[in-house]
Amino acid sequence: MAPRLLWPIVVKGSWHAEPFHWSMSQVGRRNLMEDQLEWQKLRSESGPDLGILNVRFDWLKHPTEDRTLKRLVLESVDWINVVALTEDGQSVMVEQYRFGVGSCTLETPGGMVDSGETPLQAAQRELKEETGYSGGRWKSLGAVQPNPAIHSHLCHHFLAEGVTKNDSQDLGQGEAIAVHLYTIDQVRSAIVDGSLRHVLAISALSRVFDLWTLPFVEIEQPFD
């Protein structure tokens, strides 16, 4: 029997899953391609400890050529983020200053999985700490690879429906976070106007809201 996966289907802001089928021939071709593309890791060496990230250097042998390359990998615990919806369907969003881009960004609540936590426990904790919202009905939306070129970890997406504000924020020393409630239309508009650009937030939101029909910019001159 062909493997049976659940593929999220977005319809008018609601979420459900439909079965998505791979044929065995597709799986076979995939495995063969991976065998032809996979690099052989010869050895690893630890680099600097950057706090939330550890640097690792790998030496790998090219899959089809007789040469070896050194590559950098950034190791981290897994991340999580949450699409948290109130009973009236508004999305709980957070806004905070991000040092990398040097400006404030609009995001879904999220953070890192602490030692001894499951991704779900981390998601519930981060939502409560960052926003004061908790409770609701929780679903896993799967996990994505933030940047598989250099990152080794996953970001787990969750949906929490019917959350309520039961507590004050409990922020860390390095956090200053504003909490906003956005309708589906406001989320879509924020992506269109560029005020919401966080790729992991958009990835999670796209599993819940209809974001595939957002307007795009036509390229006036075709490429040569």
Contact 141, 207 (CB under 8 A): yes
First vs last C-alpha separation in the chain: 47
- Residue for token digits 């004061």? 132
pLDDT, residue 211, reads 87
pLDDT, residue 38, reads 92
Which helix (H) or strand (E) segment is 4 a member of?
A: strand 4-11
pLDDT, residue 32, reads 65
- Residue for token digits 């589906």? 184
pLDDT tens per residue across all 224 residues of the chain: 333 333 444 434 444 444 445 565 665 666 667 778 999 999 999 999 898 899 999 999 999 999 999 999 999 999 999 999 999 999 999 999 999 999 999 999 999 999 999 999 999 999 999 999 999 999 999 999 999 999 999 999 999 999 999 999 999 999 999 999 999 999 999 999 999 999 999 999 999 998 878 888 787 876 66
pLDDT, residue 26, reads 62
Contact 44, 58 (CB under 8 A): yes
| Cα 206 to Cα 15: distance, rounded to the nearest angstrom | 10
Long-range contacts of 137-141 (CB under 8 A, 24+ apart): 137/161, 137/162, 139/15, 141/8, 141/15, 141/83, 141/204, 141/207, 141/208
CATH placement of domain 79-206: 3.90.79.10
Beta-carbon contacts of residue 56 (< 8 Å; ≥ 6 apart): 44, 45, 46, 47, 72, 73, 74, 75, 152
pLDDT, residue 21, reads 54
Instruction: Identify the DSSP state of 117.
Output: -
DSSP letters of 177-199?
EEEEEE-HHHHHHHHHHTS---H
pLDDT, residue 7, reads 42
Domain-wise residue ranges, the chain: 1-38, 39-75, 79-206
Contact 113, 149 (CB under 8 A): no
